[in-house]
């Protein structure tokens, strides 16, 4: 099996002014000492990207944006293109986050268009999928994940797919304090990887990292990271304080 480098990503959502974001990333730069065998990414709001990129100039921490548009330019007021994000210093972009789907009407089709656009400009992509509480209670979790995978990966070849990072985020566990048990998370991750094997092949499926997102905290990260198909974490609330996210990056798994 291909060794997969764990990836710990901080999604700051709609928090922090540019100055506040820079101050936090400076704390992370000083406080994170374990970059061996793990990759660290921070995703500030758009207004803080340039300042954070400058603060990370000599740091191993990588920079992500929280969203993008699929067009390279045009009359799309309020939108940001992949090429703009690349120019400001981003290494990757989060797409398909459940909050984008829930509040802003994103669909599997629009998520796919963003993924294709990112691949075209050689930007990394963290592609999010996950089920709602109602879907889990109706025992539709695996059906939902399969549908989102099919839609999001439409038109991608093996080489393109191999550059993606997936994130499984059960919607019912985001910002609620509830976390999928390690066994629940592992079941979903294993299902996702099996679907990747069917869609591509073993080699591609085993090199794609699958992150867990959903109330990851310092006190549960070790157990989650011990699961064989969990390759990292997409962290929301617990990434808003330096000491909390540093402990998550410093997981033992």
Q: Is 169 a catalytic residue?
A: yes
> Is the CB of residue 86 less than 8 Å from the CB of residue 109?
no
Decide: residue 197, CB within 10 A, 0-12 exposed, 13-18 middle, 19+ buried.
middle
What is residue 253's DSSP assignment? -
Cα–Cα distance, 216 to 233 (Å, whole number): 7
Q: Is 69 a catalytic residue?
A: no
Question: Are the CB atoms for 82 and 120 separated by under 8 Å?
Answer: yes
Please tell me which residue in 99, 106, 131, 169 is annotated as part of the active site.
169
Q: Facing residues of 166 across strands?
A: 127, 210
The active-site residue, picked from 97, 131, 135, 189, is 97
Q: Tell me how far CA of residue 150 lies from CA of 23, 91, 153, 198, 205, in angstroms.
A: 40, 25, 6, 11, 14
Three-state DSSP at 62 gives: strand
Least Cα distance to 220 among 185, 188, 190, 168 occurs for 185
Q: What Cα–Cα distance (Å) separates residue 109 from each residue in 147, 148, 191? A: 11, 9, 22
Catalytic positions, please? Answer: 97, 169
């Amino acid at each position: 099996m291909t060794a997969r480098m764990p990836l710990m990503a901080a999604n700051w959502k709609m928090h922090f002014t540019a100055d506040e974001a820079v101050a936090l990333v400076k704390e992370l730069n000083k406080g994170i000492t374990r970059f061996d065998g793990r990759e660290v990414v921070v995703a500030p709001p758009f207004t803080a990207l340039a300042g954070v990129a400058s603060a990370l100039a000599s740091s191993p921490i990588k920079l992500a944006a929280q969203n993008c548009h699929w067009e390279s330019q045009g009359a799309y007021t309020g939108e940001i293109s992949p090429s703009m994000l690349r120019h400001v210093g981003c290494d990757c972009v989060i797409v398909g986050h459940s909050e984008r789907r829930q509040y802003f009407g994103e669909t599997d089709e629009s998520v796919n268009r963003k993924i294709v656009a990112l691949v075209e400009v050689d930007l990394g992509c963290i592609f999010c999928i996950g089920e709602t509480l109602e879907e889990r209670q109706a025992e539709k979790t695996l059906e939902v994940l399969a549908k989102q995978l099919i839609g999001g990966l439409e038109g991608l070849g093996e080489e393109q797919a191999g550059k993606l990072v997936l994130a499984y985020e059960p919607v019912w566990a985001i910002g609620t304090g509830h976390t999928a048990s390690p066994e629940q998370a592992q079941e979903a991750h294993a299902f996702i990887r099996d679907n990747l094997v069917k869609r591509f092949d073993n080699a591609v499926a085993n090199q794609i990292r699958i992150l867990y997102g959903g109330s990851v905290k310092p006190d549960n990260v070790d157990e989650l990271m011990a699961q064989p198909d969990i390759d990292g974490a997409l962290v929301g609330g617990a990434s808003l304080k330096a000491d909390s996210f540093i402990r998550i990056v410093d997981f033992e798994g």
